[in-house]
Structure 1
Amino acid sequence: MRDVWVKVTTLAMLGATACAMTACTMDVGGTGTAGGGAAMPRATATLMDATGAAKGNATFEQTASGLRMRVQATGMAPGPKGLHFHMMGKCDAPDFTTAGGHWNPTGMKHGKDSGAGPHLGDLPNIEIGADGRGQIDTVAAGVMLMSGATPLLDADGAAILIHAGPDDYRTDPSGNSGSRLACGVVTPA
């Protein structure tokens, strides 16, 4: 048993030494941040349908290039679905209109293919497979979770929504993506 303790202690000391030599810091979860900076902001959301049933989850992590998001969905009809940030941190059933319109703090048109967009709330479609499940791992360029001139988590919060149909990436204001199937309030982690 003493040998195990010695090995664990040695590994911990080596890790701390490596961290000190590279000027990283360790947060409570044990992840390091290079350059001695603070851990980057994170957030989560649980996606629910109009009946209150869980339909997935999302995690968000600030990066230097934007907001990295990982969304997992379940129990949905197959096919591509529009995925967007909405401007209010509310998800009242049955239609989730309390989430407001798409988050668009810079006043751009909707869609990467519109010629005058995209706005910051535009996200890639999530593809739902034949088994009713889908996932996406992407970076929303330029999006700041809690800092900058236009943070996603401002005074009234934000939500992430999955729509019934695919975003066509050009029709303003919503990409012609249909009704709102699932909604999750973005909450700091």
Structure 2
Amino acid sequence: MNRVLASLAVLALASPALALPAAAQEPAPMRIELKGADGASHGTVTLTETPHGVLIDGDLTGMADGEYAFHFHETGLCEGNFDSAKGHHNPTNQEHGFLAANGPHAGDMANVYVTSGKARFQQFNPMVRLAGGDAPLRDADGTAVMVHGGVDDYSSQPSGDAGSRMACGVVFAAQ
């Protein structure tokens, strides 16, 4: 009997995962490539789940200098002119924009600024989660992240007068 207990003790020390309950692990950061309609890469965004929302770390390239709207879109599909991504991610049916009395959409985020063809930025979106919560990015139709060709005015309905869609990346693919 002592041999059996000794063997189990050695096994438990050799493999702590067998002896202790698994610790809750944060989801690994997700790196998403954004591409133009021509297939050219326009950089990446990395999404990191936090206890309070999603941290977005962006590194965009190959874009004309200026200010651009930046949103999560409701469908994880980036085809053609990116209309396939549909409207802004808005599962709670809010108005568009930070300035709207009944807004913003869960997918609304601050504009990004490109200088010398590049944008390096961090944003935090407390309205979304990668999975779970009221506005999960992982759902049946997936989610995309989009850079628009114009500036979001943070109030025009339904999308902030943000202009054409110039770069798109699939966060979670449509099923």
TM-score (norm 2): 0.82
**Would the aligned equivalents of 1:110 and 1:172 in 2 still touch at CA under 8 Å?**
yes
DSSP-derived class of the 1:98 partner: helix
- 1:110 and 2:96 aligned: yes
Partners of 1:120 and 1:75 in 2: how far apart? 27
Tell me what 2:37 maps to.
Answer: 50
**2:164 alignment partner AA:** S
Structure 2 unaligned segments of length 5 or more: list them.
Answer: 1-21
Q: How many pairs are equivalent? A: 152
Partner in structure 1 of residue 14 of structure 2: none
Q: Do 1:90 and 1:159's aligned partners in 2 also have CA atoms closer than 8 Å?
A: yes
Cα deviation for residue 187 of structure 1 reads: 4.3
- The whole-number CA distance in structure 1 between the counterparts of 2:125 and 2:63 is 23
Which residue of structure 2 aligns with residue 128 of structure 1?
Answer: 114
Given that 1:41 and 1:145 are in contact with CA atoms closer than 8 Å, whether structure 2 keeps it comes out as no
| Alpha-carbon offset, residue 172 of structure 1 | 1.1
Match of 1:73, SS?
strand
Aligned to 1:15: none
The 5 Å alignment of 1:1-189 reads 36-93=23-80, 95-129=81-115, 131-187=116-172
Aligned to 1:28: none
Give how far 1:153 is off. 1.2
Distance of 1:41 and 1:145 partners within structure 2: 11
Q: Encode CA deviations 1:70-114: one digit per residue, 9 max, x unaligned.
A: 111111111110000001110002x10000110100000000012
Q: Are residues 172 and 41 of structure 1, via their aligned partners in 2, closer, same or farther at CA, if it must alter by over 3 Å?
A: farther
SS at 1:116 equivalent: coil
Separation (CA, whole Å) in 1 of partners of 2:83 and 2:29? 25
Q: Whole-Å Cα distance in 2 between the matches of residues 118 and 150 of structure 1?
A: 12
User: 1:19 — aligned with what?
Assistant: none
Deviations 1:139-178 (A, max 9, x none): 1013111122431111111000000111101111111110
Higher Cα Rg: structure 1 or 2? 2
How does the TM-score come out when normalised to structure 1?
Answer: 0.76
Stretch deviating more after TM superposition (141-150 or 161-170)? 141-150
Separation in structure 1 between the aligned mates of residue 134 and residue 157 of structure 2, nearest angstrom: 24
Distance, in Å, in 1 between the alignment partners of 2:67 and 2:61 is: 13
Secondary structure in 2 matching 1:150 = coil
Q: For residues 42 and 49 of structure 1, what CA distance do their matches in structure 2 show?
A: 23
Question: Considering only aligned residues, what root-mean-square deviation do their CA atoms show, in Å?
Answer: 1.6
Identity of aligned residues (%): 39
> Secondary structure, in 3 states, of the residue corresponding to 2:84?
helix
